[in-house]
Chain A
Amino acid sequence: MPIIDHFKPPGFATDLTPENQTQWSNFLSTNYFERSKKGSSDENDGPRKQFFDPTVDEVDSLPKEEIITWSAFPRQVAVSSTGDLQRWKKADSTRAVQDEYCEWSVHRDTNGRILWIDFTSEGPEYWKVMAQLQPETVVELYRKHIAIDIDQHDLFPAGQYEPLNRWNNSTSNGAMHLIQGANTLGAEIELAGGATIVRRRNGELVSNEQDLILCSGYGAPKRHSDPHIGAEINGLAREGRLITLADPVGLFIQGCDFSGFTLPTHNVTAAQCWHIVRGTQERPLRVRFAPPDGENFTVSDVQVDGKAIAFGGQIADKISIALAGWATPSTNHLSITDGCRKVSASPLAAVAAAAPAGALATRR
């Protein structure tokens, strides 16, 4: 029997009716897991024999959960900047550079003081499916988490959900879910599948993080996320395990390292400013950083590493994003592929061709 009947919504979200949850599960399984298991044999990148769909495939032993974490701050911004101030400014300037599966929006008062910062790790696909099945729920959630008076036509111009609507397309007007082109659940599933291919080159198994991602072509080498996720998964694959993504599939905000936070009052801790507003304690999807209700200081009065918070990026530095994988204890499934992936078309074209309609950008 497969391990689970169906995938639950990301973060154990309870937005969808039971019937629609099944639809969500079928969507994931058919559109992403099936494709990711297949890969591309033409490109020496499939089938991915050590990657399985837990709603469809049977495995010989119950898998164990493995959590893989990485820093939320966009590494590519960090390495291309001259220092902290510049990189925080860059990262806060546009969602387009927030490519580590975490995006944020900074809400300020008329004096420029930060009142709250919202961080999200919710994949766009879930919202698109929800918009098709329960559009009224989407409107409710936007009104609850972004602004109470949002006009539904802002979200559904011409009757169809627009992920890049004005309440979700900037770093200052709200961030409901991920919109950066590479921050998708589809990319996550494809990355996981691609990373399960154990590659041998010149008689040696490839194991170095950068070598792996360049050889297998499953993501952007210079991010925190892709190389690290790929290396961890490939490490399990080299042990001969069967691997998949744990249920519920999705990214989550694993936590924030509060070492270095200083508050203007001893009565409140940084942890008390960390409000999980969607998801669960184990799988936070959306977090707001703001003083607790009733306190008369702002986020701008909080210091991180001795500096007053002026950018969401200063907190992103301290946030870990995660995904959960499942790996079987059994280790007799090793399948080795000789050589690297051969990309026949441009990488973008190759993955776009494999993606379901209406979506879904690659992480390349």
Chain B
Amino acid sequence: MPDSFPTRQYPYQREAPNVLRTAEPLAVLAPDTLHRFIVGEDDIKAPPGAPPLPVPLDSVTLQSLNDPFARLLRSKKPHPLTARSLVSALDMDKSMQRLSFVIGEGLQIPFTPDTADLARQLRVAVVWRSDNELSVLLSTAPPFDDQTIFLQVIGLDAQANLFNFYERRMGVWSWAGNSRHALSAPTRGKGPFDSHVNGALVMKELKLPWPHWSSEAAFELPGLDAKAPVLQEELIAQRTGAQELEPLVRTGIRRWTRARVTDALAGDTIVDVPALLRHLLSATTVNLVCSVQESEVRPPGDRLPIPITPFLDANLLLDELALPVDMDGLTAPWQHYKNMLVTQGYELRDQTGRLAKRGDIHFAFPAFERSNEDLAVVSELIEQGVLSTRLAACLAMVDFPNPVWSQRREALLRHVPTSIKRGIQGWDLATPILASITASPTSMDPTSPEAEFLKLWEIETGWEDTFGRRIKDYLNALQNRLNDANGFNDIGRLVESQRRRARKRPLLEFSLTLPRATKLDHTNWRMTTTATIERS
């Protein structure tokens, strides 16, 4: 059964319900002409009673688009409208090197007569790189000669340091906006920015073992029929492992983030400080992590490695801020994990609800961490002197056992000034935040996040060591819980409640991305500093 990609085909259903729902070419649209269709701007412009349609791009904007894909469309007629013809056209540019990557949430579920009809969501990401950076990214799926399968392109404008987003819509190419459109209304969260929420490249499974991607951790594609013609397609047969896509995506995220933050700091005033601090105090998006251990292969020593970042923002606290915590990574008894899969009723179902398997995805223990995009902004704010490491640490240490979703930490956003001016000694965010928190009545409540922040801020000397010790105590408690069967099950409940929350995001568009623990109720859990869980 061929895969379908309803969330990739137009329209972006959640945000633009009035957009014409067809992928078929429309005769009214001028062929070989780059159009524009920016959801949030263009979908609301149609005359009454008429569906909004892409419109030909004006010549000034057309000429200003300075990525390799725009240059191709300006110079080449007819426009390539299939993946195959597009790959062929972009390959003509010998300054770029092409790599293709394969992803599919069902590709590690072995192909058998019983699983033959699973919707495995096979997709291909084709990258053209130049000067060690990703210049063009094509996202599509087979069949590669199809004119209606989704075809989405991101092009790097290396001078403006941003990405342009394109899609083939109704038989023509449309410009869907650029990275800046992701940042604010009316386009934030719409169109491609429902998953590229910060305007950057996105690879939600960014780290080893890159679940669902073909990679050095799991290169073969047992989910495909060994005789399927699609396996002979060059983009699939000559694929590269996802371990080589990761650095390209990280570099792209950093490039755009640096440009964006530098722009924000260009004058004497930062006009929208919350837009920057939300990357520290909330999770604008998430990355999917999991154990490096396959879920059906017993690990050496019967200890299952457990990712740390769903339980601690180690990327920020231990790496970026270098808080001293001397201990090894987390592990858990294998049998606890196997028992949990049964007692909590883990299963995988595809988009149609068909049962794919009972158990976990290919790699054990999928969970969520704070995104690389959020970390990139915080890192840039520290590097450019907007955030001191102490302020960043004190804010991040509020409710630190809940790194991804923390209402407590997010509540502190109300104390972030709307704007700040650069002083003689540079940017000073600490003073206005501290003043607002201190003046707030809620800071008198010892259980409030404001009070928690103030206690952290009071530790002027040796704060690094103090925070490091607290984290170590917490991780030791967490390790003890993981070693205990009941404790492990509690952690499993917590992780499942996080997964349920993540599933509501457009980023998690495919059912087989995550298992469901069908025997758990829908309680939302949060972690405490003693590594116990409580209702949130």
Contact = CB atoms under 8 A, between A and B. Distances in A.
Interface of A: 69-71, 75, 78-86, 207-211, 214, 221-222, 224, 228, 231-232, 235, 257-261, 270, 305-306, 318
Nearest to B134: A259
Contact of B328 (A69, A80, A259): A80
Given A78-B208, A83-B315, A232-B219, A221 B250 contact: no
A82 B254 contact: no
Given A85-B318, A85-B319, A70 B216 contact: yes
Nearest to A224: B216
Contact of A306 (B308, B314, B379): B379
B305 interface: yes
Interface stretch (B84-92, B240-248, B400-408): B240-248
Contacts of A214: 297
Nearest to A212: B220
A83 B220 contact: no
A82 B329 contact: yes
Q: Which of B216, B217, B308 has the most A CB atoms < 10 Å from its CB?
A: B216
B328 A208 contact: no
Interface of B: 129, 132-134, 208, 216-220, 222, 243-244, 247-248, 250-251, 254, 292, 294, 297, 300, 305, 308, 314-315, 318-319, 322, 325, 327-329, 376, 379, 383, 475
B248 A259 contact: yes
13 contacts: A71-B243, A79-B208, A80-B305, A80-B329, A82-B318, A83-B319, A207-B220, A207-B222, A208-B218, A208-B222, A221-B300, A222-B292, A306-B379
Contact of B216 (A71, A85, A210): A71
Chief secondary structure at chain B's binding surface: mixed
Contact of B254 (A69, A70, A75, A260): A260
Contacts of B297: 208, 210-211, 214
A214 B294 CA distance: 12
B322 A85 contact: yes
A255 to B, nearest CB: 11
A218 to B, nearest CB: 15
A228 B297 CA distance: 16
Contact of B292 (A79, A84, A85, A211): A79
B247 A259 contact: yes
A347 to B, nearest CB: 12
B357 to A, nearest CB: 14
A174 B93 CA distance: 43
B254 A209 contact: no
A261 B133 CA distance: 10
A86 B244 contact: no
Contact of B250 (A80, A85, A305): A305
Given A208-B297, A211-B297, A260 B251 contact: yes
Contact of B329 (A81, A209, A235): A81
A94 to B, nearest CB: 16
Contacts of A70: 216
A258 B248 CA distance: 9
B250 A86 contact: no
A81 B133 CA distance: 28
Given A259-B129, A259-B133, A260-B251, A83 B314 contact: yes
Contact of A210 (B129, B132, B254, B294): B294
A329 to B, nearest CB: 15
Contacts of A210: 294, 297
Given A228-B216, A259-B251, 16 more contacts: A69-B216, A79-B305, A79-B329, A80-B328, A80-B329, A81-B328, A81-B329, A82-B328, A83-B318, A84-B319, A207-B222, A208-B222, A214-B297, A231-B220, A257-B132, A306-B383
A221 B298 CA distance: 11
A82 B251 contact: no
Contacts of A260: 132, 247, 250-251, 254
A318 B217 CA distance: 16
A262 B328 CA distance: 30
A86 B319 CA distance: 8
A70 B240 CA distance: 11
Nearest to B292: A79
B300 A209 contact: no
B216 A257 contact: no
B407 to A, nearest CB: 25
A156 B235 CA distance: 53
Contacts of A305: 247, 250-251, 254
A80 B318 CA distance: 15
Given A71-B216, A224-B216, A228-B219, A257 B319 contact: no
